[in-house]
Structure 1
Amino acid sequence: MRIGELSRRTGVSPRALRYYEEQGLLTPARRPSGYREYEERDVTTVRRVQVLLSAGLGTSVIAEIVPCADDPDVVLAGRCPELLDGLAQERARITAAIDDLAAARDILDSLVGRPL
């Protein structure tokens, strides 16, 4: 599929998809005409990248994760054990952020008169 189709299917702009390629997050094949050619698995990859970006991970970290997480049924520890410590730290950071957001929500709920 070409970049427009991948964009439509994932909701990610063609510009962002090109950026993902520059960052090593996607590696589309090239047609003789120079057009990018994406595969079905790239739809899943783009969705994973979006989730990881929204969690606050940087593209350099995501670029390390993507090759190790191409199969959702494979545990990362078996494929890229060197990433586990860094990912555990990222998980702890996300958990702390969730806790902070929940506390902020509780404060707002109390201010607007909603039960906690």
Structure 2
Amino acid sequence: MQIGELAERAGVTVKAVRYYERLGLLAPRRLSNGYRDYDDAQLRAVREIRDLAATGIPPGKAAPFVACLGAGHARSDECPASVAAYLDGLAEVEAAIAVLEARREQLARRLASATGDLSALPGAPDTGCGCTVGARA
């Protein structure tokens, strides 16, 4: 299949397919007219790259998964290198969460300092909205 058909069937752009080629994730054969010719294995690889990107694993880190599929495995994460890539991805997410939690705490402390409202501090007791439910005048 040609690049446009591959892109359409995989749910990506032609530009994305060319990017995956530059990363070395795809190596289509060339027809005599110079056109790229992709097979079903490459379609599967592109779909996997797209799915990995949706989980936060960028194409630049998809090589172990594509290689695992290329080795004939039913799933791209059956190989040790793929599992290691998952672990690396989780470590990156955990680090990002720690940075965001620290930022949240700093912002809450500054807000509390600026307003004198200690309820904005992490771990402060919830004081509620101050309204009474069901009260009649």
Q: Aligning the two structures, in what range does the TM-score lie when normalised by the shorter sequence?
A: 0.5 to 0.7
Q: What's the RMSD between the two structures over aligned residues? A: 2.8
1:59 pairs with 2:56: no
Larger relative contact order (Cα-Cα within 8 Å, sequence gap ≥ 6):
1
1:25-64 residue pairs with structure 2 within 5 A?
25-64=25-64
1:85 pairs with 2:84: yes
Query: Could you tell me how far 1:66 is from its partner in structure 2?
Result: 0.8
Which deviates more from structure 2 when the two are superposed, residues 5-14 or residues 31-40? 5-14
Cα distance in 2, alignment partners of residues 89 and 74 from structure 1: 16
Match of 1:22 in 2: 22
Matched pairs, number = 96
Tell me, which stretches of 5 or more residues in structure 1 are unaligned? 98-116
Structure 2 counterpart of 1:18, one-letter code? R
Q: Which residue, 62, 71, 74 being the options, matches 1:72?
A: 74
Match of 2:111 in 1: none
Query: Could you tell me how far 1:92 is from its partner in structure 2?
Result: 5.6
Cα distance in 2, alignment partners of residues 94 and 12 from structure 1: 25
Q: In 1, are the aligned partners of 2:68 and 2:82 still within 8 Å (CA)? A: no
Structure 2 counterpart of 1:76, one-letter code? E
How does the TM-score come out when normalised to structure 1? 0.65
How does the TM-score come out when normalised to structure 2? 0.56
Cα distance in 1, alignment partners of residues 53 and 81 from structure 2: 21
Match of 1:104 in 2: none
Q: In 2, are the aligned partners of 1:55 and 1:94 still within 8 Å (CA)? A: no
Structure 1 counterpart of 2:43, one-letter code? V
1:60-104 deviations in Å (ceiling 9; x for gaps): 310232111343258624xxx34533422324656899xxxxxxx
